[in-house]
Amino acid sequence: MFTLDKLYYSPLGSFMDKRDAEIKEKLSSVKDTSAEVKQLEEQAAAVMRAARAEISAALNQMKKETAAEVDAKLAEGRKKVEAELQEALLQLEKQKEDTIKSLDSQIAALSQEIVNKANDRKQLPRLASV
């Protein structure tokens, strides 16, 4: 039995003790690591929250800038359209005045022609009686 104890049980016992110690060490390191992992997860979550907030702020800023740019372009377009409309109205007014002047001169010419024809008709019966 002594031989079995020295040759078999003692080395097996020391092997089992070493193995048990290694397993306990690994378990404690895993527990330590899990706390570290939890801390890293919390840090990652904080970083993600900060990144989301930063992205949200950047998007809001871009929306404001884009809205301001669009408003400026719309205002510029309105001014251009209003200027073109004003120019078109001025041209219509000028055409109206030109048309009125042209009609006035045509009316005057027609009036003179009617007067001349009326005078010619009055003179025709006089010439026929002469």
Q: Is 11 helix (H, G, I), strand (E, B) or coil?
A: helix
Q: In this predicted structure, what is the pLDDT of residue 117?
A: 86
pLDDT 10s digits, 55-87: 999 999 999 999 999 999 999 999 999 999 999
Q: In this predicted structure, what is the pLDDT of residue 14?
A: 80
What CA–CA distance (Å, rounded) separates 104 from 1? 147
pLDDT 10s digits, 3-35: 666 666 677 678 788 888 888 887 777 666 677
pLDDT 10s digits, 46-58: 999 999 999 999 9
Give first-to-last CA distance, the chain, whole Å: 183
Q: In this predicted structure, what is the pLDDT of residue 6?
A: 65
Q: In this predicted structure, what is the pLDDT of residue 43?
A: 94
Long-range CB contacts for residues 103-107, cutoff 8 Å, separation at least 24: none
What CA–CA distance (Å, rounded) separates 6 from 46? 59
